[in-house]
Amino acid sequence: MSTLALQNVTYKYEGSSKNIFKDVNMDFEKGKVYTIVGKSGAGKSTLLNLLAGLDTATEGSVTYENENLAEMNRNRYRAKNAGIIFQGLNLLTNATAIDNIVLSMNISGVSERNKKAKTYSLLEKVGISKEKATRKILKLSGGEQQRVAIARALAHDPELIVADEPTGNLDKQTEDSILKIFSSLAHDEGKCVIIVTHSKKVTNIADEMWGLDKGVFRQMTKDKK
Amino acid sequence: MYIISNAIKNLFRNKGRNILIAAVTLAIIISAVVTLTINNASSVIIDEARLDIASRVDISIDLFTHGRDGRQTITVEQYVSFADSAYLRHTVFQAEMQAWFGNFFAVGDFEMGLTPPPDPNMPHSPVGKLTGHSEPSHISGFGTYRHFVEGRMFESINEAIITEELANLNSLQLGDIIHIESAFQHGKHFELEIVGIFSHEVDEVEAFQSIVWEMMGFSLPSMISQNEIFTSFETLMSVGWETADGLDMRLEYYLRNPNDLVRFEAEVRAKGLPDVFGVTINQAALDRVTGPLEGMRSAAMTFTIVILILGAIVLVLVSYLAIRERKYEVGVLRAMGMERGKIACGIFSEAIMITALCLIIGLGAGSAIAQPMADRLLAGEVETQAEAVMGAEEGGRVLMSGGQVQTDDPASGYRPISDIEVAIGMDVIIQIIFIALALAAVSSVIGIIRITQYEPLKILRERA
């Protein structure tokens, strides 16, 4: 049973007559990793924004647990149900790594007593040491920032993880460990992980792979990639 | 709670921006503290002066408009009845009687004084004045140009005090009885016991004007101040007066509230006060006393208004620029699912914290600056006014009947308030808190309104 679904979704930018994609129907289930591939500018990130509740479809609907995102409190959805890893990371650059994550937990209403301890544990999981955890984001490398962004997306233990090029800035070793985490989140913890990527390594962990080309989504087999 | 803790962290995360906002806020608060403190202290003093001067009502003929017409149309009883009013807190009774001395000479009158008039029913030539006071402390000059040589102030009925010159001329001593009659109303006579003898210093202006009067042939004994005898108002009224002929009633009515002047006038008019009489306060004196303070207060208020307006504009601009800087931060928070209201609350909390800090520093600094600032401003105002009134005081002096030097300047004798003690009171603190809240609102609301109207994706796309 799908947790997130696109039903006849058409999207075009405000003021534009050109559809980015048209009549898209997709179902995303818990316990699976999905990857979306396609050329730059094909509309992958736009699709991710719809799934993350940051934008609404021009036509059709995106539903989460059978509830239309356009009609529900999308702030609450982003805060509680979805963990978003942006391509641009979108971290609070003048705050520390730990502050970014604790703030995310606070916004999500995480009731954890010792949020800092949980944060350190999360950061450690993505390869950020305690010392680096207290540094301001601007004083971390691109790869470290990306890992902080991943940790932040996982901080409130969301059912759905939406990631846009989450391993773009990571070295091979870190990429492997991050992918293991994504895989484990889906396969061991039963979460739905949706990743937009260009990386073949990422597609390797996918249970389903979708391609976006000229506004059309097609399910792809790993052989076809 | 996390909104507050995040707001506190944000204060330190964005030091430069917040220091700029704090500097502007602090400047506004210090200025407001100084000017409001000065303004409030001035207001208190002005109100006190107003109560002191503007509450004193004179009922007299408007000589410029009516000449001396109608002087007889008001009786002594009416004057006294006016004092019976709920609007008054106090009345000082005072009256001057043109006097003829029965058993002693007046200074400057060796021929006429004891000479009985040809017709006792005809008015005598006055040789002096008998002045009745309900409150001896209100007799002018005691402690300055009048000093007791011996004896004391009158206390009981039929007691009087006389000048040293009058006593020496007639070898009068304490305990002697002097006989005084009304120069204008036959049969109104007094037997008064001398209980005090005082000296009366004649200043240079009075001496000079006496010479001028003498040279012009107008040197009458009744115009010589040494011939003024003081007794109680009760004594003066004890003979019973049907008319005010030869009497100059000078009652001072003190209002409970200076704003009751119109109501008090309506009341005395209803009691029969003719239109030729004016019911007035000494506005000129009030203006002279409070002028510099009013000037200072006005300057302080103008400064406050200018500072508040300019400060608010600067604050809005700084905040606007700061908010533009923060647009990305807001976009990230919104993308993380933070509600608009919570973001607004966070921004407002930051503004409140900056303002609260500035408020504490501003109150301390403002209170330290207020006193020297007030002294300097007031000194300037006093100097300006002193130059303006210098000519009016000296040039307007004339010698009046009875020998007293008076001036045609109604504010003569009044000095402007030249000292002020300013201190921050609760009223200023409350006013400053309101101003501070307004500043916090100004520095955050515009930004909040602007920033929260954006959708997070729009902000983040702009950034990208």
Q: What angle do CA B88, B91, B96 make, to 5 degrees?
A: 145
**Hey, is the C-beta of A110 within 8 angstroms of any chain B C-beta?**
no
Mutating which of A46, A75, A85, A113 best tests the B interface, going by the most B Cβ atoms within 10 A? A75
User: H-type helices in B336-455, by residue range?
Assistant: 340-395, 426-452
Distance CA B320, CA B312 (A): 12
Helix, strand, coil abundance in chain A, percent, nearest 5 = 35, 25, 40
**Hey, is the C-beta of A77 within 8 angstroms of any chain B C-beta?**
yes
Whether residue B217 has pLDDT greater than 70: no
CA atoms within 13 A on the CB side of B418: 10
Q: Which chain B residues are Cβ-neighbours of A104 within 8 angstroms?
A: 336
Give the total residue count for chain B: 464
Q: Which chain A residues are Cβ-neighbours of B464 within 8 angstroms?
A: 87-88
Pick A94's closest partner by Cβ from B14, B342, B460.
Answer: B14
User: Residues of B at the A interface (Cβ-Cβ below 8 Å)?
Assistant: 2, 6, 9, 13-14, 329, 331-339, 342, 455-457, 460, 463-464
**Hey, is the C-beta of A164 within 8 angstroms of any chain B C-beta?**
no
Q: Which chain B residues are Cβ-neighbours of A88 within 8 angstroms?
A: 460, 463-464
Distance CA B365, CA B361 (A): 6
Mean pLDDT of B224-235: 91
**pLDDT value at position B61?**
74
Pick A92's closest partner by Cβ from B332, B334, B457.
Answer: B332
What Rg, from alpha-carbon coordinates, does chain A have?
A: 17
Nearest to B102 by CA among B115, B92, B90: B115
Strand order in the sheet with A192-196: A82-85, A160-164, A192-196, A33-38, A208-213, A216-220
Q: Which chain B residues are Cβ-neighbours of A95 within 8 angstroms?
A: 9, 13
Pick A107's closest partner by Cβ from B9, B338, B463.
Answer: B338
CB B197 within 8 A of CB B150: yes
- Tell me the per-residue pLDDT of B298-332, one tens digit each, with 9 for 90 and over: 888 888 889 888 888 888 888 778 777 788 888 89
| ipTM of predicted assembly, 2 dp | 0.91
Mean pLDDT of B167-196: 91
Inter-chain CB proximity B460 and A92 less than 8 Å = no
Other beta carbons within 10 angstroms of residue B2's beta carbon come to: 15
Strand order in the sheet with B88-92: B88-92, B252-255, B56-61, B277-281
Q: Judging by DSSP bridges, how do beta strands A192-196 and A160-164 pair with one another?
A: parallel
Measure in Å the smallest separation between the Cα of A224 and chain B Cα atoms. Answer: 32
Average pLDDT, chain B: 82
Measure in Å the smallest separation between the Cα of A14 and chain B Cα atoms. Answer: 11
Residue of B nearest to A93 (CA): B329
Q: How confident is the model at residue B449 (pLDDT cuts 50, 70, 90)?
A: confident
Pick A94's closest partner by Cβ from B13, B331, B333.
Answer: B13
Residue of A nearest to B456 (CA): A54
Distance CA A108, CA A77 (A): 9
Q: What type of residue sits at position B183?
A: A
CB A95 within 8 A of CB B13: yes
Contacts of B77 (CB under 8 A, 6+ apart): none
CB B199 within 8 A of CB B147: yes
Q: What is the pTM of this model?
A: 0.67
Whether residue B52 has pLDDT greater than 90: no
Distance CA A191, CA A32 (A): 7
- Tell me the per-residue pLDDT of B115-160, one tens digit each, with 9 for 90 and over: 555 565 666 677 889 999 999 888 888 888 899 999 999 999 999 9
Q: How confident is the model at residue B219 (pLDDT cuts 50, 70, 90)?
A: low
Inter-chain CB proximity B337 and A77 less than 8 Å = yes
- Tell me the per-residue pLDDT of B318-368, one tens digit each, with 9 for 90 and over: 877 877 778 888 889 999 999 888 988 998 898 899 989 999 999 999 989
Q: Return the bridge partners of A216, or none.
A: A213
Whether residue B391 has pLDDT greater than 80: no
